[in-house]
Amino acid sequence: MKITDLKCALIGRHPIVRITTDAGIDGFGQIELYKPFLKPHVLTYRDALIGEDPTLVERVMLKIRQRGAFKPWGSSVSAIEHALWDIAGKAAGLPVHKLLGGKVRDRVRVYNGAARERMTSWQPADYAHNTRLMKERPEGFTIVKQPIAFHSPMKRLPGFYYGEPSTSPFHGALDRGVLTERGLKHIVDCVAAMKDVLGDEIGLALDCGPGFAVQDAIRLARALERFNLLWLEDLLTGDYIPYVNADVYREVTRVAATPIHTGEQIYLRQNYKALIETHAVNVVGPDPCDVGGIAELKWIAEYADLHGIQMAPHGTGNGLLGLAALVQVSAALPHNFIAFEYPVGEQPWWYDIVEGLPDPIVREGHIAVWDRPGMGVGFRVERARAHLAPEDAAFFD
């Protein structure tokens, strides 16, 4: 089998990768929301792929892996890797999780990283209301995560921190500064309001930054110890920050009882070495759509497990094909797996153009692992065509 073409089209705000072969088998990968600018980047890999055997996933990846980088530039490589595994599974008549070693669990836990109603005031009562919506969702989530501090408009509240807000137009722009006493108290009050809603029935995690000063990260972790949070995410670096700072994270983790989490922006296993080997964090959270693919994520999970570090993959904007990739790889992860962040369709019509997902997708906070070949999902092509731009009209041909 040989690769005959690599295509990329925008469907909604997601670049979608399609790899075709001379055997009539094709594979798909999805790039995270907010990254339509990566479409031409994907196509730079076309000449390197044509003529290769797509079932030799690692050999193909060795040709292109060095061209990626930290978020967002690893997304193109990651989506191509997903499409290769999709083809390899279809060619073998096996689900991808069997190609990764087989499933360890029959269902995977997911957590809700976003209520469907946006907060407006970023006050404790607002957080309580929003968290109640998350708790009452029919999916029965057992873990929810909320954005606070520098990972939210809370940072714009008067007197929250000593610093100048970023004026960058880009998502993930870094705001940094020392918290005021008022700012620290406000965070604690908001967490207390959320815990009053959740009690001990549902676990709470917080997406915190990046942007904290080390001393404030330590103060916050200690102030929140009584709430038994699952983790504090991206306090120092993370999201679109193109470096790790493992030694600085370790300064926080070694004195904090609250688990410390990071990793969604990191590209490739090599860039996790310092975090894992020095025990700089308690939880790592690679994103399969940024880290270089699902095999890369599995390697990181296994190495983290050897060092007593937990795994909670990122995935909030990865869409329904990204959801399928997360299910397949998470099924095969070791016992340090906690849960992955549940992606949803950007628009309701996504559920009409993608086939193969369970209905409902989530039951009691879990997704049942399916055994269809490849990633196990695909497009209802005629319905999907309606959402292609005119310049992408030949994407499914």
User: Structural domains in the chain?
Assistant: 3-94+379-392 (3.30.390.10), 99-373 (3.20.20.120)
* For residue 71, pLDDT beyond 80: yes
Determine the pLDDT at residue 114.
75
Could you report the per-residue pLDDT of 198-214, keeping only the tens digit for each?
999 999 999 999 999 99
Determine the pLDDT at residue 115.
67
Strands annotated E in the chain: 3-11, 14-21, 27-30, 107-111, 143-147, 161-162, 178-179, 203-207, 232-233, 260-262, 283-284, 310-311, 340-341, 354-355, 366-368, 378-379
Query: pLDDT category, 190, cuts 50, 70, 90?
Result: very high
Residues 6 or more apart from 40 whose CB is under 8 A from it? none
Determine the pLDDT at residue 213.
98
Could you report the per-residue pLDDT of 259-280, keeping only the tens digit for each?
999 999 999 999 999 999 999 9
Place of tokens 């340090």: 336
**Mean pLDDT for the stretch of residues 345-361:** 97
Could you report the per-residue pLDDT of 149-183, keeping only the tens digit for each?
999 999 999 999 999 889 999 888 899 999 999 99
Average pLDDT of the chain, as a whole number: 97
DSSP line for 197-236: HHTTTSEEEEE--S-B-HHHHHHHHHHTGGG--S-EE-SS
Q: Is 69 exposed, middle or buried (0-12, 13-18, 19+ CB in 10 A)?
A: middle
Radius of gyration of the chain (CA): 21
pTM value? 0.97
**Mean pLDDT for the stretch of residues 115-134:** 89
d(CA 72, CA 264): 10
Could you report the per-residue pLDDT of 277-331, keeping only the tens digit for each?
999 999 999 999 999 999 999 999 999 999 999 999 999 999 999 999 999 999 9
Determine the pLDDT at residue 261.
98
d(CA 267, CA 257): 28
40 — phi, psi (to 5°)?
Answer: -65, -30
Are 394 and 385 in contact by the 8 Å Cβ rule? The answer is no
Q: Which two tokens stand for residue 181?
A: 């006493």
Strands 366-368 and 354-355: unpaired
Are 254 and 37 in contact by the 8 Å Cβ rule? The answer is no
* For residue 116, pLDDT beyond 70: no
Determine the pLDDT at residue 118.
78
Closest CA to 100 of 82, 118, 126, 127: 82
d(CA 175, CA 96): 40
360: preceding bond cis by omega (within 30 degrees):
yes
d(CA 346, CA 353): 12
Give the CA count within 13 Å in the CB-facing half-sphere of 30.
Answer: 29
